[in-house]
């Protein structure tokens, strides 16, 4: 078991692990407990009362954030014909087909998101072993497989949260940067919780939102009272 450093212990002492904080209190604490020397992110973990082994409970989605993620998003687009010009007009530098796939296969991964038109998925599919493990494979449920590439690019550049339940029934996603204003983080987090509530399967039983926690990069977890969001 790895030992916690002095800096972690110092900020962890600010958190009462037995308490369920309000979202406003949690946001304040997550900013106070950030000690990384680089621009730290704020992450949320939501434990759901779902069985991910059931296909209809294996939820996945994305939602635009009102205040973005606080970082520049690098996007590549697989398209052809007039959709190439549409992607370029939206500010994407790397647009292509087989040539772009070859570049990525060769080890180039200097991007954060991939958008593809449906007619290019045969080309993108060959990159499954490269993009899949990194969570970069385009998906219709995430709005990244679409002929409306301009809208997809604008949403990604503005910043949005992507979520997917894991094997333990927990959704993890990034909601912004520690350096953002507290009210901006509050709005982003509320938006993510609302999106996950809207994704609730009809087959879900009992209390859907079981537990919520916030944390800054390398920082301690802060338990949030889920009651107002149930």
Give the pLDDT confidence score for residue 1 in this predicted structure. Answer: 43
Residue 22 bridge partners (DSSP): none
pLDDT beyond 80 at 3: no
What would you measure as the largest C-alpha separation in the chain, in angstroms? 58
Query: What is the predicted pLDDT for the residue at 5?
Result: 83
The per-residue pLDDT for range 179-195, each reduced to its tens digit, is 999 999 999 999 999 99
Domains with residue ranges and CATH for the chain? 16-69+160-229 (3.30.190.20), 75-158 (3.40.50.790)
Q: For residue 96, what pLDDT is reported? A: 95
Residues 55-77: tens digit of each pLDDT = 999 998 889 999 998 888 899 99
Assign 3-class secondary structure to the chain. Answer: CCCCCHHHHHHHCCCCCCCCECHHHHHHHHHHCCCCCCCCEEEEEEEECCCCCCHHHCCEEEEECCCCCCCCCCEEEECCCHHHHHHHHCCCCEEECHHHHHHHHCCCCCCCEEEECHHHHHHHHCCHHHHHHHCCCCCHHHCCECCCHHHHHHHHHHCEEEEEECCCCEEEEEEEECCCCHHHHHHHHHHHHHHHHHCCCCCCCCCCEEEEEEEECCCCCEEECCHHHC
Model confidence pLDDT, tens digit, residues 80-125 = 999 999 999 999 989 999 999 999 999 999 999 999 999 999 999 9
> If we measure between CA atoms, which residue out of 63, 7, 28, 61 comes closest to residue 224?
28
User: Two tokens at 95?
Assistant: 């647009």
Closest CA to 111 of 126, 89, 125, 96: 96
Q: What is the pLDDT of residues 116-170, one digit of tens each?
A: 999 999 999 999 999 999 889 999 988 899 999 999 999 899 888 989 999 999 9
Positive or negative, the CA dihedral 115, 118, 120, 126 is: positive
Q: Which of 63, 61, 46, 12 is nearest to 169 (CA)?
A: 46
**Mean pLDDT across the chain:** 93
Local confidence band at 2 (pLDDT 50, 70, 90 cut-offs): low
Number of Cβ within a 10 Å radius of residue 8:
15
pTM, entire model: 0.79
Give the other-Cβ count within 10 Å of 115's Cβ.
29
The encoded tokens of residue 140 equal 């219709």
| Confidence (pLDDT) at 199 | 94
pLDDT of residue 147: 97
Query: pLDDT category, 36, cuts 50, 70, 90?
Result: confident
């Amino acid at each position: 078991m790895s030992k916690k450093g002095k800096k972690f212990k110092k900020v962890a002492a600010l958190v009462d692990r037995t308490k369920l904080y309000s979202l406003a209190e949690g946001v304040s604490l997550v900013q106070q407990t950030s000690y990384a020397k680089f621009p730290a992110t704020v992450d949320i973990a939501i434990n759901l009362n779902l069985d991910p082994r059931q296909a209809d409970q294996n939820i996945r989605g994305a939602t635009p954030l009102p205040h973005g993620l606080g970082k520049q998003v690098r996007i590549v687009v697989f398209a052809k014909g007039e959709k190439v010009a549409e992607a370029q007009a939206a500010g994407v530098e790397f647009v292509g087909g087989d040539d772009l796939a070859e570049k990525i296969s060769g080890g180039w991964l200097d991007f954060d998101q991939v958008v593809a038109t449906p007619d290019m998925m045969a080309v993108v599919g060959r990159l499954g072993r490269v993009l899949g493990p990194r969570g970069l494979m385009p998906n219709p449920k995430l709005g990244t497989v679409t002929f409306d590439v301009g809208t997809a690019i604008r949403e990604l550049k503005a910043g949005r949260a992507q979520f997917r339940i894991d094997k333990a029934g927990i959704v993890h996603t990034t909601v912004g940067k520690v350096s953002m204003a507290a009210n901006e983080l509050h709005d982003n987090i509320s938006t993510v919780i609302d999106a996950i509530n809207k994704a609730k399967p009809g087959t879900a039983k009992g209390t859907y939102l079981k537990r919520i926690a916030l944390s800054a990069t390398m920082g301690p977890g802060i338990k949030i009272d889920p009651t107002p969001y149930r």
